[in-house]
């Protein structure tokens, strides 16, 4: 009887330690977020707070970066393979719209939405694509 109790306690302790250790995918995302913070990004999970994005997919994560571009108000949404202008429509008739559209289409397909505001650039993306994809997104945004 005592042997059964000891066995149950040992199994319980092994199970508890196993649950406490992070999985390989959680370690990968943690490393990505730490490197993103070093690059200047702010990470906001979509299940926290009110979102300005139209996409409600909770698997996507919002990354924010300080806006150093001339574009101070714009919202683009992915439609199939292209990012299309959601608002403001007056931007579509500006002289620089075609250049903006070309640069945005250089962004990775994993970026679902991007919002330019006066102080920051926010975008929704599939974080599982990794750090190399994030560096490409960072380079495209900084090229504006």
* Selected residue with higher pLDDT from 55 and 114: 114
pLDDT over threshold 70, residue 48: no
Report the pLDDT averaged over residues 54-58. 75
What's the pLDDT score for residue 32? Answer: 87
Indicate whether 100 belongs to any domain: yes
Indicate whether 68 belongs to any domain: yes
Averaged confidence pLDDT in the chain? 82
Indicate whether 16 belongs to any domain: no
pLDDT over threshold 80, residue 7: yes
What's the pLDDT score for residue 13? Answer: 78
pLDDT over threshold 70, residue 49: no
Indicate whether 35 belongs to any domain: yes
Indicate whether 90 belongs to any domain: yes
* Selected residue with higher pLDDT from 4 and 92: 4
pLDDT over threshold 70, residue 47: no
Domain count, the chain: 1
Indicate whether 19 belongs to any domain: no
In terms of average pLDDT, the best of 7-11, 34-38, 89-93 is 34-38
- For the beta sheet containing 82-87, the strands, ordered from the edge strand earlier in sequence to the opposite edge, are 42-45, 61-66, 120-125, 111-116, 74-79, 82-87
What's the pLDDT score for residue 95? Answer: 79
Please write the tens of the pLDDT for every residue from 100-134. 888 888 887 888 888 888 999 888 888 888 888 88
Indicate whether 8 belongs to any domain: no
Half-sphere exposure at residue 28, Cβ-oriented, CA atoms within 13 angstroms: 9
Domain assignment of residue 76, given as a range: 24-142
User: Which two three-digit tokens encode residue 122?
Assistant: 């926010």
Report the pLDDT averaged over residues 13-23. 75
3-state secondary structure at position 41: coil
């Amino acid at each position: 009887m005592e042997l059964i109790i000891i066995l149950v306690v040992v199994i319980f302790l092994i199970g508890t330690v196993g649950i406490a250790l992070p999985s390989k995918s959680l370690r990968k995302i943690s490393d990505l977020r730490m490197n993103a913070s070093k690059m200047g990004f702010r990470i906001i999970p979509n299940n926290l707070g009110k979102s300005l994005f139209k996409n409600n997919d909770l698997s996507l994560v919002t990354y924010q970066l300080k806006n150093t571009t001339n574009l101070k108000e714009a919202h683009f949404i992915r439609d199939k393979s292209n990012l299309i202008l959601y608002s403001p429509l007056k931007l579509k008739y500006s002289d620089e719209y075609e250049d903006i559209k070309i640069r945005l289409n250089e962004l990775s397909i994993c970026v679902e939405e991007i919002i330019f505001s006066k102080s920051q650039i926010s975008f929704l993306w599939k974080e599982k694509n990794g750090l190399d994809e994030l560096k490409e997104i960072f380079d495209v945004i900084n090229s504006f």
